[in-house]
């Protein structure tokens, strides 16, 4: 079932649900006909989208509000924070083309700080699906939860069968392993899976975790990685600051668990605008790039260094 089919199904069963957009209809083209006046398009007006969503939520509605991720989370940030955030209203924000998915649009359209911004809003949940199956599957739970939520929209085809009945807020263990742990979210899961296959061919045993939600962050899953493998790698198409890496550092420090931790992220600049596969390659997120980086991290491990000497 696609995301669109899923929200039509959810809205059909639950009259509280309204679907909104700031004229960003790519993922919901069939929704207007299906929902009638419970579909509300405010035009290219992200601030009004968010304020109106808060007003609808005050009246008991559960708005699913769509916008281009960069403009939804940044142009309307203060509305998200002050209208939905302060009031703790159950508005579900769906950010279109987050991270590398903005492809060749250029820096204006790059939401690579969206997770950091949403993490800074008390009570804001953050869901980063690996593919369309995970996205559609989680929507029921997200709509049922009473909190505001930011969804990093991603409708890519699945490359893995997700475990059924995955509890919201829990990470998904894709493979067990003893040499290195990889924590990843969003569509980069597919590149991480390629990297795992390459590393396996080199005799490296990899524990791969699909994080799924960044708030709540599955702290037990984070700690388990640090306890099981000496090296932990975070992978995200997001700035180094404020995303998964930051959350993992905070978690490990709080839980007094220490390991060798290496981030693979977008470090302090905007990425090279390009078609997705080119951008992935150029920015070093392809399975091959990830595998070679991780091999290098393993070689740089202190114990390994002594063994080499």
Partner 1 sequence: MQTQLKLNASAELEAIVARVRENIIRMSRHGGCFLGASMSCADLLTYLYGRVLRIDPRRVQDRDRDYLLLSKGHASAALYAVLAEFGFLSDGRLDNHLRLHDSLYWHPNSSIRGVEFHSGSLGHLLSVGIGIALDIKLRRGPSRVFVILGDGELNEGSVWEATLVASAKGLDNLIAIVDRNGFQANARTEDLIPLEPLAGKFESFGWACEEIDGHSFDEMDRVLGVLPVAHGKPNAIVARTVRGKGLPSMENREDRWFVASSEEEAASMIEELYGGKVEEPGRAERKLKLEL
Phi, psi (deg, nearest 5) at residue 114: -65, -40
Is 146 a residue that touches partner 1 (CB under 8 A)?
A: no
CB of 136 to partner 1, least distance (A): 26
User: Residue 294 corresponds to which tokens in the numbers above?
Assistant: 């991780």
Site for partner 1 in 111-130 (CB under 8 A): none
Instruction: Put the strands of the sheet holding 92-96 in their side by side order.
Output: 39-41, 17-21, 62-68, 92-96, 149-152, 125-127, 213-215
Stretch that binds partner 1, among 50-58, 97-105, 114-122, 260-268 (CB under 8 A): 50-58
CB of 78 to partner 1, least distance (A): 6
Which residues have a Cβ under 8 Å from the Cβ of 307 and sit 6 or more positions away?
Answer: none
Beta-bridge partners for 64: 19, 92
Stretch that binds partner 1, among 78-86, 115-123, 125-133, 143-151 (CB under 8 A): 78-86
CA nearest to 27, candidates 4, 50, 1: 4
Tell me which of 52, 69, 70, 199 binds partner 1, using CB under 8 A: 52
CB of 59 to partner 1, least distance (A): 4
Q: Which is nearer to partner 1, 86 or 202 (CB)?
A: 86
DSSP 8-state assignment for residue 85:
I
DSSP codes joined into one string, 250-301: HHHHHTT---EEEEEEE-SS------HHHHHHHTT-SHHHHHHHHHHHHHTS
Q: Which is nearer to partner 1, 53 or 259 (CB)?
A: 53
Stretch that binds partner 1, among 44-52, 131-139, 234-242, 295-303 (CB under 8 A): 44-52
Q: Which is nearer to partner 1, 40 or 171 (CB)?
A: 40
Chain centroid offset of residue 109 CA: 17
CB of 19 to partner 1, least distance (A): 13
Tell me which of 43, 106, 216, 284 binds partner 1, using CB under 8 A: 43
Site size for partner 1 (CB under 8 A): 28
User: Residue 227 corresponds to which tokens in the numbers above?
Assistant: 């306890």
Stretch that binds partner 1, among 55-63, 221-229, 235-243, 301-309 (CB under 8 A): 55-63
Q: What is the pattern of x (binds partner 1, CB under 8 A) and - over residues 3-42?
A: ---------------x------------------xx-x-x
Cβ count within 10 A of residue 30 = 13
What's the Cα-to-Cα distance from 97 to each of 16, 73, 105, rounded to whole Å? 27, 12, 10
Which residues sit at the interface with partner 1, rule CB under 8 A? 18, 37-38, 40, 42-43, 45, 47-48, 50-61, 63, 78-79, 82-83, 86-87
């Amino acid at each position: 079932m696609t995301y669109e089919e899923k929200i039509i199904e959810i809205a059909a069963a639950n009259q509280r649900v309204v679907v909104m957009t700031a004229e960003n209809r790519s993922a919901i083209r069939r929704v207007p006909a299906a929902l009638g006046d419970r579909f509300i398009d405010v035009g290219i007006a992200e601030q009004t989208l968010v304020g109106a969503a808060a007003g609808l939520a005050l009246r008991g509605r559960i708005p699913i509000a769509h916008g281009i991720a960069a403009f939804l989370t940044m142009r309307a940030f203060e509305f998200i924070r002050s209208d939905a955030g302060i009031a703790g209203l159950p508005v579900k924000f769906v950010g279109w083309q987050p991270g590398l998915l903005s492809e060749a649009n250029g820096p204006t359209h790059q939401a690579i700080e969206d997770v950091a911004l949403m993490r800074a809003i008390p009570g804001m949940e953050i869901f980063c699906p690996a593919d369309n199956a995970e996205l559609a599957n989680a929507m029921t739970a997200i709509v049922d939860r009473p909190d505001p939520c930011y969804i990093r929209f991603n409708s890519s085809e699945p490359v893995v069968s997700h475990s059924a009945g995955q509890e919201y807020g829990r990470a998904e263990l894709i493979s067990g392993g003893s040499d290195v742990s990889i924590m990843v979210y969003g569509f980069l899961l597919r590149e991480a899976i390629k990297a795992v296959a390459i590393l396996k061919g080199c005799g490296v045993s990899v524990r791969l975790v699909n994080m799924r939600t960044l708030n709540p962050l599955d702290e037990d899953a984070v700690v388990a990685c640090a306890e099981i493998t000496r090296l932990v790698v975070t992978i995200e198409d997001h700035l180094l600051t404020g995303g998964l890496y930051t959350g993992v550092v905070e978690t490990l420090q709080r839980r007094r668990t220490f390991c060798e931790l290496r981030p693979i992220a977008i470090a302090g600049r905007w990425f090279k605008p390009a078609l997705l596969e080119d951008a992935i390659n150029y920015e070093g997120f392809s399975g091959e790039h990830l595998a070679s980086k991780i091999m290098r991290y393993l070689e740089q491990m202190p114990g390994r260094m002594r063994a080499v000497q």
